[in-house]
Copies of this chain bind each other. A is one copy, B any other.
Amino acid sequence: MATKSVKSTKSKSETKVCCGTARDIPLSESDAAGLALVFAALSDPVRLRLLSIISSAPDGEVCACDLVTPIGKSQPTVSHHLRILFEAGLVEREKRGVWVWYRAVPERLDAVASRLR
């Protein structure tokens, strides 16, 4: 790293000098870890498609039994991905009888989206 007190060693291609000012990091370590968890939940194609199906459901909710076939993965795999979405707060679930209904949590998506700026 270049030292802080470089005076004016400009070469033809540079005007500025990197200075090593230890500015504070805007995003704290624990905030970053928390945010990273949500993005990790969104970092799998299967989960994105699940979220897509759930979010665009006419009734706002989808039965888990209707998610296995269109996704094309085994039932345990789909269940696993739904759990990760749930734990990230991206969907909520409600058991009614034998079936489990999933709904998207748009406020959560908005919250994440707004932190991208």
Q: Which residues of A contact B (CB under 8 A)?
A: 1-2, 11, 13-14, 16, 18-23, 25-27, 29, 32-33, 35-36, 39-40, 42-46, 48-49, 52-53, 55-56, 59, 63, 65-66, 68-70, 96-97, 99, 106, 109-110, 112-114, 116-117
Contacts and interface: CB of A to CB of B under 8 A. Distances in A.
A107 to B, nearest CB: 11
B66 A48 contact: no
B63 A48 contact: no
A56 B70 CA distance: 42
Contact of A65 (B1, B96, B113): B1
B59 A36 contact: no
A112 B106 contact: no
Contacts of A99: 2, 14, 18
Contact of A18 (B25, B52, B66): B66
* Most chain B beta-carbon neighbours within 10 Å: one of A45, A56, A97: A45
B53 A23 contact: yes
